[in-house]
Chain A
Amino acid sequence: MTLLLDMVTTAAILFIVAAGLLAIFGVLKIINFAHGAWLTIGAYCAVATAGLGLNPWAALPIAFAVGAILGGITEQVIVRPLYRRPLDAILATWGLGIVIGQLITLWFGRDVQFTPNLLSGTVDVFGVGYSLYRLFAVAAALVIGLAFTFLLEGTRLGLSAQAVIMNETLARALGIDTARVRLATFMVGTGLAALAGVLLTPLTSVDPNMGVAWLIGSFMLVMVAGSSFSTLAIACLVFGGAQVLVSTFVSPIFGGITVAVLCALVLRISPKGFARA
């Protein structure tokens, strides 16, 4: 039972972390390698919020806002010239990630920081005590997934974004301001990444390089998922589940690379990943 819960909650956490990256890759076809840095920014927003003596929950909106604003600046200055050079965009955003990491180090120091728990304790699920926070993560993942579906299906921005995904030239010819769609998407993506950073704080230690560890896993999941949130959810369930199984039954060290290796193999067999399968 605990195993099953572990699988589901792990998948939920992976989903939360990868969502921001997927939003950007899905619409812009750009891989934001500074994604890890935004997770870190979000986590430090939680640290700063706690430092100011505010309610820990206030960190969520703050992080989203900070992430989105910084993301907006990044899109304008760094990403915009690189839409035609996607491999260079990977490098430029990776470089940005280094810069952000160093700035955080200069500001907060390189030590591990602690934040107050958002939720603590356990609840009984079918007679087994289980971490309340991990269950909350499942709820959070559902909320993010549903919010995104609503954003894509039910709003003007979402409709424009879908048009850009399908055929950007046509979208522009139809009078959609693709530059603004891109800016908005990038801001939403980075905002989500920062939000995910806050949500990660109770689960991992907070230090200036915490994001890098999460980057590759979410990157691989996004490559497999393509541009759809439902396939991302499936990918997270499958690979997150596999990760828990490998960690439990083989070795935790191999568990850490399960997601990356399985995703690479899936992409070799079917280059479109789960998008077409």
Chain B
Amino acid sequence: MPESRSIPPRVWLLAALALAVAVVVIIGPALFDRFTLNVLTRSMIYAMLAVTVDILWGYTGILTFGQAAFFGTGAYASAMVLSHLGATPALLALALALAIIVPILLGAFVGWLSFGHGSTPLYATVISLVVPIVVTQLVFSGGVWTGSSSGLVGYSGLPLGLQGYFRLTGICLIITTVIALIFTRSDAGKLLVAIRDNEARCAYLGLDPQRLKIALTTILAGVAGLAGFLYANASGVVAPENTGFVFGTEIVIWTALGGRGTIIGPVMGAIGIDYLSAQLSGDLPFLWNLVVGALFVVMIILLPNGLAQLARMVLPRRHGEQASQAGSPALAAEAAGNGAENGNRVLAVSGLGKSFGSLQVLQGIDLDVRPGELVSLVGPNGAGKTTLMRCLSDGTEATTGRVSIAGQDISGMTPDEIVALGVGRKFQVASVFDSLTVADCLRMARASRKTPSLLRRSATLGLPVAAADILRSTGLDGMLGRPVSLLSHGQKQSLELAMVVALEPKLILLDEPTAGLTKVERTTIGATLQKLTGELGFAAILVEHDLDFVRDISTRIVVLHQGKLVLDGSVDQVVNSEVVRTIYSGGAHA
């Protein structure tokens, strides 16, 4: 397998990196003076925080200033145990446990607060600003317990010297970094990028982006807490500034300058800037911050992906090579687990209505769809076709009436829950993940059925036969390793269809899948749809304007006009009916 051979260079690179840093950790203490050791210990702790911010912001797109709060909580939890109770081995273990558990609990709460159904990215950022402020104020009001504004000092921590702390934090940093690297490059790590790119698509692939974000916030709060424990021990002092939002912005600055979305970049950024700050701030106290601030502004405007992006532009060839090597998995067709129960209704709609205020967009819709049917939904612009599709795939949309999928009422269900019932929705404008490769996009579609690996990057891509067929007939099977951003409009449409089919839905909803396609592409999609429904027993509802296309492939046609279902019959019945002619020639109201 040539694919598996492309992975070792990465592993070697990682191993070499780990080895190099390990050497520094062991040899470092002998080389550096006290001051440098002290500063670097602190810098490495900060670098751990930068890694967590990078995963949240660089990969998942959640701009957060809140890591400072979790860090501070961990640091204070440790320092409070050590100052007020003592530093016996048992109490040290307690301090460590609390330093991780308390931030995790706080993180779970903050995550729940930040990521509700329908909350905006800006809101998460807002919360991440409030949390550090609240924690800081709690510290101020904690009196003797937290040392108030002067912080806690003079407690004894782990029995390690300067060099011991340097080694310990070095090892912790390397472990954090390596885990982060493995995770972000794994199949599961691609989920983060998918959420950043297109959260709606994630939900319509049966994933729950909000829950994933909450989990991520919770776990990374724990990592920040661990960093806080190290800090409280190594520095021997905790102060309110450690929890503040200004510190939170500093972590973001290091991450941005190092290069978001690279893990290594933020580590370098944090260590480099914090170390230089310590060295230079003595001589040039204000000028140094001025330079960092100015650099940060320039970087955000011109190089949003940081210095790592610059390095990548200088070495474009190597990067391209890696991408083509790493991203071409073998296609493996899996037997469809889709036992289509014949005869039973896949979809039953009765009395469905939707209104925006006093405006009735849909009213009194009744519709049944059985397996193997390809139902086309036609009607003039503004008839309510797309609204009907939305009501079928999001249980919170409909105002009145009942929609059941495979016998289950969907009212109040979120898109990802409805996907689990067996509904796949293809959007009018191709909704895919622009930063991922073709193969990764398809893997996302399988993620709700088969939990992706947290460690490995699979060399094969398992897809149901039907989805693999679509790839073959559209030529996408030859470009699995290609980034989606390089695909043509038609290829994106085909890819999205393949993703939806890969969900193995019972019912596929398609909103103008042929809009903007060439004649050839259109014929291919038409043939695919006929095969899916006729041979494989999927049911499909197709919104379409092109009546010729509809006539060729449909088994049934439904006409929607001014929010009402005016006709439901076979192709011949509908095409020859008077009503359709009147509607399309703009005649009398039905």
Q: Which residues of A contact B (CB under 8 A)?
A: 31, 78, 81-82, 85-88, 90-92, 94-99, 102-103, 105-106, 110, 212, 216, 219-220, 223, 251, 253-254, 256-257, 260-261, 263-264, 267-268, 271
- Residue contact A271 to B289, C-beta cutoff 8 Å: no
1/0 contact string of B148-177 vs chain A (CB within 8 Å): 000000000000000000000000000000
| Chain B residues with CB below 8 A from A95, complex form | 253, 293-294, 296-297, 300
A87: contacting residue among B63, B141, B297, CB under 8 A = B63
Q: Does B35 contact A (CB under 8 A)?
A: no
A94-B249, A219-B129 known; A86 vs B289 contact (CB < 8 Å)? no
| Chain B residues with CB below 8 A from A254, complex form | 137, 141
Q: List 18 A-B contacts (CB under 8 A).
A: A87-B121, A87-B122, A91-B296, A95-B293, A98-B296, A99-B290, A99-B294, A99-B297, A106-B287, A106-B290, A216-B133, A216-B245, A223-B126, A254-B141, A257-B133, A260-B133, A261-B130, A267-B126
Q: Can you name the residue of chain A whose Cβ is closest to the Cβ of B289? A: A102
Cα–Cα distance between A239 and B179 once the two chains are bound (Å): 44
B137: contacting residue among A87, A88, A110, A256, CB under 8 A = A256
Smallest CB separation, B144 vs chain A (Å): 15
- Residue contact B287 to A271, C-beta cutoff 8 Å: no
Smallest CB separation, B322 vs chain A (Å): 27
- Residue contact A220 to B304, C-beta cutoff 8 Å: no
- Residue contact B130 to A91, C-beta cutoff 8 Å: no
A87-B63, A90-B63, A268-B116 known; A78 vs B137 contact (CB < 8 Å)? no
| Chain B residues with CB below 8 A from A82, complex form | 300-301
A-B pairs with CB below 8 Å: how many?
Answer: 100
Cα–Cα distance between A85 and B256 once the two chains are bound (Å): 14
Smallest CB separation, A151 vs chain B (Å): 26
Q: Does B140 contact A (CB under 8 A)?
A: yes
Cα–Cα distance between A223 and B287 once the two chains are bound (Å): 34
Smallest CB separation, B205 vs chain A (Å): 24
- Residue contact A86 to B249, C-beta cutoff 8 Å: no
Q: Does B125 contact A (CB under 8 A)?
A: yes
Q: Which residues of B contact A (CB under 8 A)?
A: 63, 113, 116, 118-123, 125-127, 129-130, 133-134, 137, 140-141, 245-246, 249, 252-253, 256, 286-287, 289-290, 292-294, 296-297, 300-301, 304
**B contact face: mostly helix, strand, loop, or mixed:** helix
| Chain A residues with CB below 8 A from B122, complex form | 31, 86-87, 223
- Residue contact A102 to B63, C-beta cutoff 8 Å: no
| Chain A residues with CB below 8 A from B120, complex form | 271
| Chain B residues with CB below 8 A from A261, complex form | 130, 134
| Chain A residues with CB below 8 A from B140, complex form | 253
B286: contacting residue among A92, A106, A219, A268, CB under 8 A = A106
| Chain A residues with CB below 8 A from B119, complex form | 268, 271
A78: contacting residue among B134, B141, B297, CB under 8 A = B297
Q: Can you name the residue of chain A whose Cβ is closest to the Cβ of B302? A: A81
| Chain A residues with CB below 8 A from B292, complex form | 98
Cα–Cα distance between A263 and B130 once the two chains are bound (Å): 9
- Residue contact A96 to B297, C-beta cutoff 8 Å: yes
Smallest CB separation, B215 vs chain A (Å): 19
Q: Can you name the residue of chain A whose Cβ is closest to the Cβ of B116? A: A268
- Residue contact B127 to A99, C-beta cutoff 8 Å: no
- Residue contact A91 to B300, C-beta cutoff 8 Å: yes
- Residue contact A212 to B63, C-beta cutoff 8 Å: no
A253-B140, A254-B141, A261-B134 known; A102 vs B293 contact (CB < 8 Å)? yes
Known: A87-B125, A92-B301, A95-B253. 11 other contacts (CB 8 A): A31-B122, A87-B63, A87-B122, A90-B125, A91-B252, A94-B249, A216-B133, A219-B126, A253-B141, A257-B130, A260-B134
Cα–Cα distance between A3 and B127 once the two chains are bound (Å): 30
- Residue contact A257 to B137, C-beta cutoff 8 Å: yes
| Chain B residues with CB below 8 A from A31, complex form | 122
- Residue contact A92 to B297, C-beta cutoff 8 Å: yes
| Chain A residues with CB below 8 A from B129, complex form | 216, 219, 260
With a 10 A CB-CB cut-off, give which of B137, B290, B297 has the most chain A CB atoms. B297
Nearest first, the 5 closest Cβ-Cβ pairs linking A and B are: A98-B293, A95-B296, A102-B290, A95-B297, A99-B293
- Residue contact B118 to A102, C-beta cutoff 8 Å: no
- Residue contact A212 to B246, C-beta cutoff 8 Å: yes
A88-B304, A216-B245 known; A264 vs B126 contact (CB < 8 Å)? yes
- Residue contact B286 to A105, C-beta cutoff 8 Å: yes
B304: contacting residue among A85, A96, A102, CB under 8 A = A85
Cα–Cα distance between A91 and B119 once the two chains are bound (Å): 21
Q: Can you name the residue of chain B whose Cβ is closest to the Cβ of A103? A: B290
Cα–Cα distance between A256 and B297 once the two chains are bound (Å): 30
| Chain B residues with CB below 8 A from A268, complex form | 113, 116, 119, 123
- Residue contact B126 to A220, C-beta cutoff 8 Å: yes
Smallest CB separation, B287 vs chain A (Å): 7
Cα–Cα distance between A110 and B133 once the two chains are bound (Å): 24
Cα–Cα distance between A97 and B245 once the two chains are bound (Å): 14
